[in-house]
Copies of this chain bind each other. A is one copy, B any other.
Amino acid sequence: MPFQVAVCGPRHCTEQDRNNAYRVGELLAQRGAVVICGGGVGVMAAVTAGARSAGGTVIGIRPNDSREGACDDLSATIVTNLGEARNAIIVQSADAVIAVGGSWGTLSEVALAMRRGDIPVVCVGGWQILDATGAPVPGIHHAETPEDAVDRALS
């Protein structure tokens, strides 16, 4: 069975998020991992394009009830019609999760991945989570570069 990495991130992302996501996709494909993502725009489209440029397999897990709005170049599109509950499926299907950039949807995926507790969770950019004492909640690896993120995810 191929190693599967979920790559999460905002629809509305920065140029740097987009570049990071593209590179993450490229690296994952080069190293033989299947990419699982939300299959939409922003970070999702960028990681899809990156992985496909390197001949990788990318599965898009869509929230709505049709393939409308899905990236054209996905290897396959899963039409869940679950709304944001589909985030749980993206996370559950992954052997590792990489989040690029920050948004509420992305945060829900990071939280669900940490809730699982059994896979690497890596963030490139994005939000910080502090506990009630103001200290960072441990467990997330914050990567400086796409290369570092992919190394961690596949380690």
CB of A78, distance to nearest CB on chain B (Å): 5
Contact across chains for B104 and A111 when beta carbons are under 8 A apart: yes
B78 touches A59 (CB 8 A): yes
Which residues from chain B contact A34 at a C-beta distance below 8 Å?
75-76
List chain B residues, Cβ under 8 A from A48.
Answer: none
Interface contact B83-A57, CB-CB below 8 Å: no
Q: Report A23 CB to chain B, min CB distance, Å.
A: 18
Given contacts A57-B76, A108-B111, contact A130 B131 (CB under 8 A): no
Q: In A62-115, which residues have CB < 8 Å from any B CB?
A: 65, 67, 70, 72, 74-85, 87-89, 92-93, 102-105, 107-108, 111-112, 114-115
Is chain A's binding surface mostly helix, strand, loop or mixed?
A: mixed
Q: Does A125 contact B (CB under 8 A)?
A: yes
**For A132, what are the chain B residues with a Cβ–Cβ distance below 8 Å?**
102, 125-127
Q: Compute how far the CA of A114 lies from the CA of B15 in the bound complex, rounded to whole angstroms.
A: 24
A-B pairs, top 7 by smallest CB distance, nearest first, are A85-B88, A108-B111, A104-B115, A81-B83, A107-B111, A128-B130, A104-B114
Q: Given known contacts A1-B74, A57-B75, A77-B93, what 11 new A-B pairs fall within 8 Å (CB)?
A: A1-B67, A4-B77, A79-B92, A81-B89, A102-B131, A107-B129, A108-B111, A111-B111, A127-B131, A128-B131, A128-B134
